Structure 1
Amino acid sequence: MHVRIRAVSSSLSLLVMAMSPIFLAGCGGGMDSPVLATHTGEAVVNGDASGDLVGVWRVLGEGTLMEIKRHTVQRFHETKTLCFPQPGGAAAIGMLGGYSYRTTADLHHLRAELFEAPGFPATYTLERIGAVPDGCRTAPPTDPTTTFKVLSEVIELDYAFLEERHVDWPLITGRLAPRAALAPDDDALQAVLTEALSGFNDMHTALIRWRDGVPSYAFLSGNKPTVQLLRRAFEAQSEITDFLGFQASWKAHVQQDFAPRLQGGSAGRVLGGTMVWGRLPGNVGYIEIGSMAEFSEPFDARNDLALVRAEMDRALAALADTRALVVDVSLNTLGGLDQVSAEIAGSFTRHRVLGFTKQAHRPEGRAEQGWYVEPKGGNPYTKPVYVLTSDLTVSAAETFALMMRALPQVTLVGQATSGSLSNALVKPLPGNFYVSLSNEVYRDPAGVAFEVTGIPPRTALTVFDPADPATLATGHGRAIDRLLTMISAM
Structure 2
Amino acid sequence: MKNLKPALFIFILLISFAAQAQQKQEKLLKNTNWIQEGYGRGLKIVDSTFTYYNLDRLNCKSLAEGKLNGRFKIISLSKNELVLNPGGIVNYVFKKVPALPGNCGSTPPSTASYEDNFKIFWETFNDNYAFFKERNVDWQQVYKEYLPKAKQAHSPKELSEILTALVKQLGDGHIRLEIPDSLQTKTPATSTGVKRKTNDVIQGIKNKYLENVHVYNHGVISWGKIKGSNTGYIIINDMNNFANYLSPEEQALPTFLKKYEEIKDLKPAMEQFDDEIKGVDTIMKKVFADLAKTDSMAIDLRFNGGGLETVALRLLSYFVGESKPVITVTAKTAQGNTKKQTYVQQSSKANYKGKVFLLTGPNTASAAEIFALSARSYPNITSIGTRTNGIFSEILWKELPIGWEFSLSNEIYMDRSGKTYEGTGVPVHIELNYPRNRFDFYHTFYNGDQFSDAAIDRISKTK
Aligned partners of 1:419 and 1:450 also within 8 Å: yes
1:66 is aligned, of 27, 43, 48, to 43
Question: For 2:281, which of 306, 309, 313 is the aligned residue?
Answer: 309
User: 1:390, 1:417 within 8 Å by CA — same for their partners in 2?
Assistant: yes
Residues 334-363 of structure 1: per-residue CA shift (max 9 Å, x gap): x11111111011101232121211100128
Q: Which residue of 2 aligns with 1:166?
A: 136
Label 1:70 to 1:304 Cα distance change in 2 as closer, same or farther (>3 A).
same
Cross-structure match for 2:102: 134
Q: Tell me what 1:255 maps to.
A: 202
Task: Give 2:415's aligned residue.
Answer: 444
TM-aligned CA deviation for residue 315 of structure 1: 0.8
TM-score normalized by the length of structure 1 = 0.75
> Which one of 386, 400, 422 corresponds to residue 357 of structure 2?
386
- Distance verdict in 2 for CA 1:337–1:40, change over 3 Å: farther
Contact 1:265 1:318 in 2 (8 A): no
Matched residue, 2:9: none
Instruction: After superposition, give the CA deviation of every residue in 1:357-391 in whole Å (9 maximum; x if it has no partner).
Output: 11001287842111121122x42112111111101
Equivalent position to 1:480, from 444, 448, 455: 455
Q: Is 1:116 matched up with 2:101?
A: no
Q: Which has the larger radius of gyration?
A: 2
- Secondary structure, aligned partner of 1:427: strand
| Preserved CA contact (<8 Å) 1:74 1:85 | no
| SS in structure 1 of the partner of residue 359 of structure 2 | strand
> 1:152-185: CA deviations, max 9, x gaps?
1011111111012111112122211222233232
Q: What is the deviation of 1:142?
A: 3.1
| 1:166–1:122 Cα change, 3 Å | closer
Tell me, yes or no, if the aligned pair for 1:392 and 1:417 is still in contact at 8 Å.
yes
Residues in 1 aligned to 2:94 and 2:20: alpha-carbon distance in whole angstroms: 14
Equivalent pairs: percent with the same residue?
Answer: 25
Q: Give the direction of change, closer, same or farther, for the CA distance of 1:423–1:95 in structure 2 (3 Å limit).
A: same
| Structure 2 match to 1:370 | 342
The alpha-carbon distance between structure 1 residues 441 and 381, as it changes in their structure 2 partners (threshold 3 A), is same
Does residue 233 of structure 2 align to residue 286 of structure 1?
yes
2:163 matches 1:193: yes
Which deviates more from structure 2 when the two are superposed, residues 90-99 or residues 185-194? Answer: 90-99
Classify 1:177/1:414 alpha carbon distance in 2 versus 1 (closer, same or farther; 3 Å): same
Q: In structure 1, what is the Cα distance between the partners aligned to 2:21 and 2:387?
A: 41
Distance 1:174 1:465 in 2: 32
Kindly provide the amino acid, as one letter, of the partner of residue 454 in structure 2.
A
Indicate the residue corresponding to 2:5 in structure 1.
none
CA distance in 2, matches of 1:125, 1:210: 34
Is the partner of 1:112 in helix, strand or coil?
strand
Alpha-carbon contact 1:70-1:93 (below 8 Å) kept: no
Asked if the contact 1:356/1:442 (under 8 Å) is kept, the reply is yes
| One-letter amino acid of the structure 2 residue matched with residue 57 of structure 1 | W
What is the identity, as a one-letter code, of the residue corresponding to 1:343? Answer: R
Q: Secondary structure of 1:430's match?
A: coil
1:222 counterpart residue number: none
| Corresponding residue of 2:60 | 85
- The partner residue of 1:275 within 215, 221, 224 is 221
Q: Secondary structure at the match of 1:102?
A: strand
- Relative to structure 1, is the Cα distance of residues 237 and 293 closer, same or farther in structure 2, using a 3 angstrom cutoff? farther
Q: State the partner residue of 1:453.
A: 424
Distance 1:369 1:271, change over 3 A: farther
Q: TM-score, normalised by structure 2?
A: 0.79
Q: Is the Cα contact below 8 Å between 1:83 and 1:136 reproduced in 2?
A: no
Match of 1:105 among 64, 69, 78: 78
SS in 2 for 1:198: helix
Which residue does 1:144 correspond to in 2? 114
Alignment partner of 2:298: what SS? strand
**Which one-letter code corresponds to 2:276 in the other structure?**
D
Cα offset, 1:124, TM superposition = 2.4
Deviation at 1:314, TM superposition (A): 1.5
Note the C-alpha offset of 1:480: 3.1
Residue 18 of structure 1 aligns with which residue? none
CA RMSD of aligned residues (A): 3.3
Q: CA deviation at 1:452?
A: 0.9
3-state SS of the aligned residue for 1:93? strand
Give unmatched runs, 5+ long, in structure 1: 1-36, 43-48, 220-230, 240-245
Q: Residue in 1 aligned with 2:247?
A: none
Higher relative contact order (CA closer than 8 Å, sequence separation 6+): 1
Offset at residue 327 of structure 1 (A): 0.4
Runs of 4+ in 1 over 6 A off after TM superposition: 37-42
* Post-superposition CA distance 1:383-405 (Å, at most 9, x none): 11111110111000000001111
Provide closer, same or farther for how the CA distance between residues 342 and 468 of structure 1 changes in structure 2, counting only shifts above 3 A.
Answer: closer
Any idea what the Cα deviations from partners look like across 1:381-439, whole Å, max 9, x if unmatched?
A: 12111111101110000000011111120011110111111111111111131221111
Closer/same/farther in 2, CA of residues 218 and 308 from structure 1, 3 Å limit: farther
1:323 is matched with 295
Indicate yes or no: 2:162 matched with 1:204: no
Letter in 1 for 2:51: Q
Counterpart of 2:394 (choices 413, 423, 444) is 423
Higher helix share: 2
Offset, 1:463:
4.0
Q: Given the superposition, is the C-alpha separation of residues 168 and 374 from structure 1 closer, same or farther in structure 2, using an over 3 Å criterion?
A: same
Deviates more, 1:281-290 or 1:124-133: 124-133
8 Å contact kept, 2:327–2:413: yes
1:70 is displaced (CA, Å) by 4.3
Once residues 295 and 233 of structure 2 are traced to their aligned partners in structure 1, the CA distance between those partners, rounded to angstroms, is 11
Query: 1-side partners of 2:206 and 2:22: how far apart?
Result: 45
Change (3 A) 1:396 1:135: same
Please give the alpha-carbon distance, in whole angstroms, between the structure 2 residues aligned to 1:96 and 1:191: 41
What's 2:255 paired with?
A: none
- Flag the 1:319–1:52 CA change in 2: closer, same or farther, 3 A: farther
Q: Give 3-state SS (helix, strand or coil) of 1:381's partner.
A: coil
